[in-house]
């Protein structure tokens, strides 16, 4: 089962220009005002044993050598078989959430992870920080499950502006749980 969770988490982490504030049916988030474009990416993957699933991500990044940064919001609808498994074994949810955060950060050389549980508007999740860019930067992210969706929200850079990242993470709001199930 761990391989299946890893496959889904890797898939979560992997456009069109949007305004810094995103209203999607079910959630809202405000990106920092950096002057950079936000790219929307959608992806479908066939996960072995579980079938097809899809992820939608909005990514704002700058790759300048002196001050690179990344802000990301992603959600993945996972197959019914996984939802049923999580209902039968709720303890495996933390493994899934942790794997999602590790997979998201692995794209940026994530190492030295620290995890802590958190609650976001009544939804239980995990928050993580890690080193990125060969130790020259930091990434901070949150992940949680709502209905059949997994949400990943993260921000980081080299160097990271923790106040701006915390503001971005705190701006994320689920609006109506009925729309995200």
3-state secondary structure 145-161: EECCEEEEEEEEECCCC
Pairing of strands 51-62, 69-77: antiparallel
- Domain of 71: which CATH number? 3.40.1000
CA dist., res. 160 & res. 67, Å (int)? 9
The predicted pLDDT at position 22 comes to 64
User: 21 and 28 in contact (C-beta within 8 Å)?
Assistant: yes
Residue from 40, 96, 47 nearest 72 by CA: 40
For 143, the enclosing helix (H) or strand (E) is strand 137-146
Tokens of 88: 């039968």
Domain boundaries, position 107 = 2-172
The predicted pLDDT at position 140 comes to 92
CA dist., res. 126 & res. 141, Å (int)? 8
Q: Is residue 181 part of a domain?
A: no
Position 27 pLDDT exceeds 90: no
The percent of residues above 90 in pLDDT, for the chain, comes to 6
Q: Is residue 124 part of a domain?
A: yes
Which pLDDT tens digit goes with each residue over 85-115?
777 887 777 887 888 788 778 777 888 999 9
Q: Is residue 41 part of a domain?
A: yes
Which pLDDT tens digit goes with each residue over 34-82?
778 888 888 886 766 666 778 888 888 877 766 778 888 888 877 777 7
Q: Is residue 179 part of a domain?
A: no
Q: Is residue 180 part of a domain?
A: no
Q: Is residue 177 part of a domain?
A: no
Q: Is 166 helix (H, G, I), strand (E, B) or coil?
A: helix
Tell me how many domains the chain contains.
1
Q: Is residue 72 part of a domain?
A: yes
- Per-residue confidence band for 33, with pLDDT thresholds at 50, 70 and 90: confident
């Amino acid at each position: 089962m761990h391989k299946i969770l890893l496959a889904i988490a890797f898939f979560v982490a992997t456009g069109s220009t949007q305004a810094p504030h995103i209203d999607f049916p079910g959630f809202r988030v405000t990106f920092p005002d950096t002057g950079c474009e936000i790219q929307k990416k959608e992806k479908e993957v066939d996960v072995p044993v579980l079938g097809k699933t899809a992820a939608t991500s909005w990514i704002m990044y700058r790759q300048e050598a002196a001050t690179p940064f990344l802000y990301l919001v992603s959600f993945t609808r996972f197959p019914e078989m996984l939802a049923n498994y999580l209902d039968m074994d709720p303890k495996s949810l933390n493994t899934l959430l942790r794997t999602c955060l590790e997979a998201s950060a692995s794209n940026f050389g994530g190492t030295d992870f620290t995890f802590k549980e958190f609650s976001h508007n009544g939804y239980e999740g995990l928050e993580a920080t890690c080193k990125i860019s060969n130790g020259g930067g930091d990434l901070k992210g949150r992940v949680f499950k709502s209905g059949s969706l997994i949400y990943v929200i993260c921000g980081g850079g080299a160097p990271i502006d923790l106040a701006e990242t915390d503001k971005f993470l705190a701006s994320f709001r689920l609006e109506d749980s009925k729309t995200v199930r």
